[in-house]
Amino acid sequence: MRRLLLLTSLFLPIVLLLGLFLGYRYAASVYDNIEKIPLSDVLATGGTGTNYLIVGSDSRDPQAILDAGLDPAAFEDGGGSRSDTMLILRLEGSTATMMSIPRDLYLPIADTDQSQKINAAYNGGPARLVKTIQSSLGIPINHYMEVDFVSFSRLVDSLGGIVIEFPNPAIDTNSGLNITQAGPNLLDGPQALSYVRSRNYEVVGGNATVEPIEVASDLGRVLRQQRFLTTVFAKLGATKNPLVLAGAANDASGGLRIDDSLGLIEAIRLAWRLRSLDPTSVELPVTNSRNRSGSVLLLSQPAADAALDQFR
């Protein structure tokens, strides 16, 4: 018995080290599969916290849309991609803060002499988007992450779906959203994307029939995006099965793009932090307006600066 205990005491650390090594090797293989974007020249450094710009890319590749379980007819234009979701996630010590940037926000665009909707900055590439947020909103961006809808869909399916509470049944024929019953609904990947993408969110029953167009197009989606992300983070944190977590990481990595300064160790720390993340949501105050770009959103000062200061 004593010999058995001795052998166990000798080999247990080796087994644990082997497990850690294999886990690291798997994480390294997943990390190597992620596309790196050369942004180190424009990203901010230093500071007391770390700001991550998280962009959801609305793919226009018909095959990618089909792979995500979505209807290509729900996408208005063909070819290319555009930013459909922009979030700033700030991690500072044990606190996490998250703020959505409406893509209809009208700002001066970096490297141009024009003001446009901020989505136009994304069309000029990630570097222009980062520089626009830093120069026009005064928020330092330390790291950049971009994920397409195919990855969102696969990630949700890897976790067995997510539960979203609906006060009323809701539909959006453009995005494919079709919730027929109020209350908690288990959404699979394609259904979750339809929920996040909805710009014509129609409430069935209740006192309202449809959100005001300004809310439906951007501001309402901001709230849904934050609810979606916090739900995914909570599901990741509750998942203890390492095989499920490994599958989720693998499914997300194929459509993920990150900046070239986000190293493997920091990426592992971020992934581990996201599993238990419960961020405080900050709303960016804006007002509705119209100009040559159509319906736009403008910063509502001084309340907007008070919100932005939490990320500066």
158-169: per-residue pLDDT in tens? 888 999 999 888
pLDDT at position 211 over 70: no
Smallest Cα–Cα separation from 107: which of 311, 291, 243, 310?
291
> In this structure, how many other beta carbons lie within 10 angstroms of the beta carbon of residue 214?
18
Q: Which range has the top average pLDDT, 52-66, 167-181, 191-205, 282-296? A: 282-296
What percent of the chain has a predicted confidence (pLDDT) above 70? 73
Please determine, for residue 292, whether its predicted confidence score (pLDDT) is greater than 50: yes
Q: Look at residue 213 in the predicted model and tell me its pLDDT.
A: 39
The per-residue pLDDT for 77 is 45
Distance CA 240, CA 122 (A): 36
Predicted confidence band of residue 72 (pLDDT cuts 50, 70, 90)? low
Q: What are phi and psi of 47, to 5 degrees?
A: 95, 165
Average pLDDT on 133-145 reads: 96
Residue 136 pLDDT = 96
Identify the weakest region by mean pLDDT among 11-15, 45-49, 140-144: 11-15
- pLDDT range class, residue 176, cuts 50, 70, 90: confident
The per-residue pLDDT for 37 is 94
Q: Is the pLDDT of residue 50 over 50?
A: yes
Q: What is the pLDDT of residue 277?
A: 74
Cβ contacts of 181 within 8 Å, gap of 6 or more:
166, 169
Q: Are 49 and 90 in contact (CB under 8 A)?
A: yes
Q: Which CATH architecture has domain 37-311?
A: 3-Layer(aba) Sandwich (3.40)
Closest CA to 264 of 98, 14, 28, 29: 28
- DSSP H helices, the chain, are 2-32, 62-67, 119-123, 126-136, 149-158, 189-197, 213-214, 220-238, 242-253, 264-274, 303-308
Beta partners for 257?
35, 146
pLDDT at position 17 over 60: no
Q: What is the DSSP string of 150-191?
A: HHHHHHHHHTT-EEEEESS-EEETTTTEEE-SSEEEEE-HHH
Q: What is the pLDDT of residue 245?
A: 67
* Ranges 53-62, 231-240, 256-265, 299-308: which has the least confidence: 53-62
Q: Return the percentage of the chain with pLDDT > 90, whole number.
A: 33
Domain ranges in the chain are: 1-32, 37-311
Token pair, residue 275, equals 């599993």
pLDDT at position 10 over 60: no
Is the confidence at residue 154, as pLDDT, over 50?
yes
Which structure tokens are listed for 63? 């095959």
47 vs 312: CA distance, rounded Å: 9
Q: Does pLDDT of 122 surpass 80? A: yes
> Which two tokens mark 261?
């300064």
pLDDT at 298: 95
Query: Which pLDDT score, from 0 to 100, does residue 243 have?
Result: 67
| Sheet of 177-179, strand order | 177-179, 170-172, 202-203
Give strand pairing partners of 282.
99
CA atoms of 4 and 256, how far apart (whole Å): 47
Q: What is the pLDDT of residue 212?
A: 43
- Report pTM: 0.78
Spatial CB neighbours of 91, under 8 Å, sequence gap ≥ 6: 49, 50, 52, 270, 273
Confidence of residue 6 (pLDDT cuts 50, 70, 90): very low
The mean pLDDT of 182-193, rounded to a whole number, is 91
